[in-house]
């Protein structure tokens, strides 16, 4: 990871934008003529309004978790100020085609506010990381609400992947030098391949192997930074049982509200799905939708994931697509609010420059080495 955050390359932006358009073309072309218009004409005003009213419950719950994490180290910050920064983060994550993630932005702003980028980075990482941990656990156990769903690769594979990711995290947490053996094995295999294959076509083979070696170097660099953050996160929560329980409860509440959010959004279009089925599928769908395929919060790809996954509950494509677009509309509204907070923020006191931003991972690692 570079020491500074850079704008996404124009070619990458164009490619991801094309993929987003392609997803929507495929999704809409799969619908029968007039089917989508019919669904929109049957919108239930009550559930449509209720769906938007869930937003001021879900986002503040995550922001409150962030406040708890900052407060455990004596950082008393106004909840409303944190909400402003949190919404600015939403704007960067969901409305800008940039590598500047929302977590990096809000970590930077809070770090400038409290005069401590290290504590800001740690608290931001823990707030996000605890959510990912629970999502992985839910992707494994939630389908038990409808055990027959485990027979579908769409559910089984994410659950298996979640088991693998959690196992890697436990390994990196408990083993003193977790990357030492994997790195050595990778380099030994690479050396063997270079020796065997390189003799056939030295030019082409050498270039390919060199690229793969650089890829491995970057991968292990990212993993090492993650290892450092993981240890710092565990250390930050150690001895703070009350804060830990508050974080766990707030995280569980947030994911419960995601189930309610999807259910109510379906009801807005006249669909009354099985709530247990929704609860069983949402974690796996969310996990798959996290894959960085397109721009602006995976525009197009996420909606496609919803259509495919909720088809397992025999929900029509038009209904699932409508639900996904309603959730996208709410993200857009939240992003607009975040944009308004961003342009009205006192930048003279807390000047924001994309080139000045330091990624959370690098910031935590640098401070950790300094403290050590």
Q: Residue for token digits 């270039």? A: 207
Percentage above 90 pLDDT, the chain:
72
Distances from the Cα of 328 to the Cαs of 20, 118, 298, 322, in angstroms? 13, 33, 10, 10
**What pTM, to 2 d.p., does this model score?**
0.88
- With a pLDDT cut of 70, the percent of the chain lying above it is 88
Evaluate if residue 264 carries a pLDDT over 70.
yes
Q: What is the pLDDT of residue 8?
A: 66
Rounded to the nearest 5 percent, the helix, strand and coil shares of the chain are: 80, 0, 20
Where residue 315 falls (left for φ over 0; alpha for ψ -120 to 50; beta otherwise) is: beta
* Among the ranges given (99-113, 164-178, 320-334, 337-351), the one the predictor scored with the smallest mean pLDDT: 337-351
* Alpha carbon distance 310, 321 (integer Å): 10
pLDDT, one tens digit per residue, over 125-183 is 999 999 999 999 999 999 999 999 999 999 999 999 999 999 999 999 999 999 999 99
pLDDT digits over 66-97, tens only? 999 999 878 889 999 999 999 999 999 888 87
63 contacts 128 by C-beta, under 8 angstroms = no
pLDDT at 13: 85
Domain residue ranges of the chain, discontinuous segments joined by +: 10-26+34-159+239-371
**Number of other residues whose CB lies within 10 A of the CB of residue 248:** 14
pLDDT at 314: 96
Q: Residues with Cβ < 8 Å from 323, sequence gap 6 or more? A: 262, 265, 266, 268, 269, 271, 306, 310
Cα–Cα distance measured from residue 96 to residue 90, given in angstroms and rounded to the nearest whole number: 10
The phi and psi torsions of 232 (rounded to 5 degrees) equal -65, -40
283-329: per-residue pLDDT in tens? 999 999 999 899 888 999 999 999 999 999 999 999 999 999 999 99
Tokens of 193: 């391949």
List the end-to-end C-alpha distance of the chain, in Å, as a whole number.
22
């Amino acid at each position: 990871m570079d020491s500074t955050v850079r704008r996404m390359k124009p070619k990458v932006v164009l490619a991801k934008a094309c993929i987003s358009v392609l997803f929507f073309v495929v999704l809409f072309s799969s619908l029968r003529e007039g089917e989508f218009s019919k669904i929109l004409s049957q919108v239930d005003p009550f559930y449509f309004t209720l769906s938007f009213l869930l937003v001021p419950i879900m986002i503040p719950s995550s922001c409150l978790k962030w406040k708890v994490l900052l407060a455990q180290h004596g950082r008393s910050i106004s909840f409303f100020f944190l909400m402003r920064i949190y919404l600015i983060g939403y704007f960067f994550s969901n409305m800008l085609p940039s590598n500047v993630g929302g977590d990096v932005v809000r970590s930077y702003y809070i770090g400038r506010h409290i005069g401590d980028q290290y504590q800001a980075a740690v608290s931001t990482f823990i707030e996000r990381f605890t959510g990912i941990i629970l999502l992985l656990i839910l992707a494994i156990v939630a389908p038990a609400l409808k055990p027959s769903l485990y027979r579908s690769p769409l559910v089984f594979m994410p659950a298996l992947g979640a088991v693998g990711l959690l196992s890697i995290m436990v390994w990196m947490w408990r083993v003193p030098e977790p990357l030492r053996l994997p790195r050595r094995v990778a380099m030994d295999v690479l050396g063997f391949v270079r020796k065997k294959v390189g003799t056939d076509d030295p030019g082409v083979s050498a270039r390919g192997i060199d690229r793969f070696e650089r890829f491995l170097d970057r991968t292990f660099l990212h993993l090492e930074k993650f290892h450092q953050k993981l240890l710092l996160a565990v250390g930050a929560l150690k001895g703070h049982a009350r804060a830990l329980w508050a974080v766990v409860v707030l995280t569980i509440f947030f994911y419960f509200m995601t189930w309610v959010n999807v259910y109510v959004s379906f009801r807005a279009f006249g669909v009354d799905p099985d709530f247990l089925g929704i609860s069983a599928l949402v974690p796996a769908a969310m996990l798959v939708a996290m894959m960085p395929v397109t721009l602006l919060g995976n525009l197009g790809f996420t909606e496609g994931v919803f259509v495919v996954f909720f088809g397992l509950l025999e929900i029509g494509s038009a209904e699932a697509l409508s639900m996904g677009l309603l959730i996208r509309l709410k993200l857009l509204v939240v992003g607009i609010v975040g944009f308004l907070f961003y342009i009205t923020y006192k930048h003279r006191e807390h000047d924001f420059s994309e080139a000045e931003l330091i990624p959370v991972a690098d910031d935590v690692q640098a401070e950790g080495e300094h403290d050590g």
